[in-house]
Structure 1
Amino acid sequence: MSQVSSVSDQLILLENCADFQQHALALAKDARRHIAILSTDLDFPLYDQDEFVSALSQLVRGSRFAQIQLLVKNTKPLIERGHKLARLSQRLSSKVLLRKLTLQPENTDMGFMLRDNDGLLFKNDDLVYRGFANYAAAVEVKRLRETFDYLWQYAEPEADLQQLHI
């Protein structure tokens, strides 16, 4: 069960998948312009949920300036099983961008979701549901955004997830 940190009431320690789902959805619903996700395989139990995908869809459809960027280390599960965010990326390809990492971050185990300039969902190890959500994390988001942008610059679109529009 999640608990508010003694350091700040905006910092919430997360200990299981349900905690992460709750805060990922809250961050997505509160987003105004931008969501960026770095994940091993787009974490099916976390990001392949109807309500979460719907919140992201509403974000990009509600503002011409809104954008979602998805950076994935391993796209094989997305191709083999399908993923709601991958399908959203195919339908809204100019607003929901999905790329495969070609460079690895310094901390190869981490996974995170950035909301605008101040919201953060962070997994210390992308394969384990332990980490935190922070709704006022401007400093951390700025640092992680720089890492994300650097990795994004060298990432590549996954050809097997591209859809041919005729």
Structure 2
Amino acid sequence: MSFIQQAPDLVLNKSSDTYLLETLEEFRCAIDHMAPQAKRHIKIFSQELDHDFYDRPEFMDALGPLFKKRRGFSVSVILKDPNKASKMGHRLVELQKRLPTRCEIRSLPREYGDMTDEYMIVDDQGMVKRFALGNMRGHCEFRAVPDAVKYGRQFDEIWGRSMPCTELRRLSL
């Protein structure tokens, strides 16, 4: 059975298999089935905030109910290169404008500039990881302990050293 067929049955912090992702459709499926299960937060580390992953109605429609139903729910994004999102626009940038205390995008500090992975962590329990920008290879785990915790700590460390992404804030003027 393919990952896309199995994804609707996967439960955050319960389904323990690792699934290899090799197509855009598989990545989208993983993101679209994991994100709505969030209770506290979604952390995204991205090279350029890929439009094919996060600038889609399916992903944004999953976030809306989370902000409404889950008090304190937040989305945190660390972005290496804001140029593409700045030039083309992005739904997460618009969300940041509407909910600045619950959705924030920050710039990757220079000392972390050699990082090439991309990932989404949900509640420090589930994780979708792409090995490099432009490469459609990665994996997802709906119960990714200890990796989600390890990457979550790394994300928090980088977040603490990062600054708000000024290139994207200019769009709101």
Q: Same fold (TM over 0.5)?
A: yes
Query: Is the CA contact (8 Å cut-off) linking 1:103 and 1:155 kept in structure 2?
Result: no
Distance 1:36 1:131, change over 3 A: same
CA distance in 2, matches of 1:29, 1:125: 24
Aligned counterparts, 1:32-43, within 5 A: 32-43=39-50
CA distance in 2, matches of 1:105, 1:2: 32
| More deviation, 155-164/111-120 | 155-164
1:1-48: CA deviation from partner (whole Å, max 9, x where unpaired):
6488xxx85211100111000000111111111100000111111111
Correspondence for 2:135 among 128, 133, 152: 128
Q: Which residue is equivalent to 1:95?
A: 102
Correspondence for 1:68 among 75, 98, 111: 75
Distance 1:63 1:9, change over 3 A: closer
Query: Following superposition, which runs of at least 4 residues in structure 1 exceed 6 angstroms of deviation?
Result: none
Q: Please say if 1:52 is aligned against 2:52.
A: no
Which residue identity is paired with 2:48? Answer: D
In the TM superposition, what is the alpha-carbon distance from 1:126 to its structure 2 partner? Answer: 2.7
Q: Which residue is equivalent to 1:24?
A: 31
Query: Is the CA contact (8 Å cut-off) linking 1:104 and 1:151 kept in structure 2?
Result: no
In the TM superposition, what is the alpha-carbon distance from 1:160 to its structure 2 partner? Answer: 3.2
CA distance in 2, matches of 1:16, 1:104: 31
Q: Which has the higher helix share?
A: 2
Which residue identity is paired with 2:84? Answer: P
Q: Normalising by the residue count of structure 2, what TM-score does the alignment of the two structures yield?
A: 0.85
CA distance in 1, matches of 2:114, 2:129: 12
In the TM superposition, what is the alpha-carbon distance from 1:119 to its structure 2 partner? Answer: 0.5
Q: Please say if 1:144 is aligned against 2:147.
A: no
Correspondence for 2:17 among 5, 10, 29: 10
CA distance in 1, matches of 2:80, 2:23: 22
- Which segments of 5 or more consecutive residues in structure 1 lack a partner in the other structure? none
Task: Give percent identity, aligned residues only.
Answer: 27
CA distance in 2, matches of 1:145, 1:113: 9
SS, match of residue 163 in structure 2 = coil
1:131-164: CA deviation from partner (whole Å, max 9, x where unpaired):
1110111200110011101111111112232236
Q: Which residue is equivalent to 2:85?
A: 78
Structure having greater relative contact order (Cα 8 Å, sep ≥ 6)? 2
Query: CA RMSD of the aligned region, Å?
Result: 2.0
Q: Normalising by the residue count of structure 1, what TM-score does the alignment of the two structures yield?
A: 0.89
